[in-house]
Structure 1
Amino acid sequence: MSFGAGVPTVGVDHLTVDDFLLDVREDDEWEAGHAEGALHIPMSEFVVRYGELTEAAPQDGRVNVICRSGGRSAQVTQYLVQQGIDAVNVEGGMHHWEATGRPVVNDKGESGFVL
């Protein structure tokens, strides 16, 4: 884990299938393809839907925040850290996730792609 520009980050290669993943991309991006098991709360709705995260996130675990390339997720990570939540930005986002061979699925569980 590193702290790029004050925001804690983690590389895709340091994540396991058991790690909690929060995807903050918009609905069309999510529908095209996402990491299986991730929680989807678009950044544009994040503050209103914040309670969904607090209900779903592990109480003693880290929230790994991901978007397409890392910009939006860095902003959400910074917000979560300010709220006292152990959160990190996934470096390179879903583009890096897909490039490293991690599975990307659509809502039907079929192979998806990153917009």
Structure 2
Amino acid sequence: MPTVGVADLADGDFLLDVREDDEWEAGHAEGALHIPISDFVARYGELTEAAPQDGRVHVICRSGGRSAQVTMYLAQQGIDAVNVDGGMQVWAAAGRPVVDDKGQPGFVL
């Protein structure tokens, strides 16, 4: 499965966060699209509307397991998707900004 390290992500890369609502509300990458894995198939259309047509979807969760499942699903649908290695834990540890659902500094739950 294709993966990408947090350090290799550029500002503006399309990021899909598949963690659950409580995790998202505690802290997420600003600008990410949030579709929890538990709702993913039902809300798939939101991704196809928001994702860049010719760009890559970077899928992230807490540590990489759930995002790996979604990455495999997207690849089967013909979407250029990669799993963010280490997830939000590595994102935060690398000093990348984490905001809560009010736009204030957040944390990884």
TM-score tier, shorter chain, comes to over 0.9
Greater relative contact order structure (CA < 8 Å, 6+ sep): 2
- The equivalences for 1:1-115 within 5 A come to 7-115=1-109
What letter is aligned with 2:7? D
Corresponding residue pairs, total: 109
What letter is aligned with 1:97? W
Runs of 4+ in structure 1 off by over 6 angstroms are none
**Distance across 1 between alignment mates of 2:68 and 2:49:** 21
Unaligned runs of 5+ in 1: 1-6
Q: Secondary structure at the match of 1:77?
A: helix
Over the aligned positions, Cα root-mean-square deviation in angstroms equals 0.3
**Higher percent of residues as strand:** 1
Q: C-alpha deviations, 1:17-61, integer Å up to 9, x for none?
A: 110000000000000000000000000000000000000000000
In the superposition, the TM-score normalised over structure 1's length comes to: 0.94
**Distance across 2 between alignment mates of 1:11 and 1:79:** 20
Unaligned runs of 5+ in 2: none
Q: Percent identity?
A: 82
In the superposition, the TM-score normalised over structure 2's length comes to: 0.99
Q: Secondary structure at the match of 2:2?
A: strand
User: Residue 9 of structure 1: CA displacement?
Assistant: 0.2
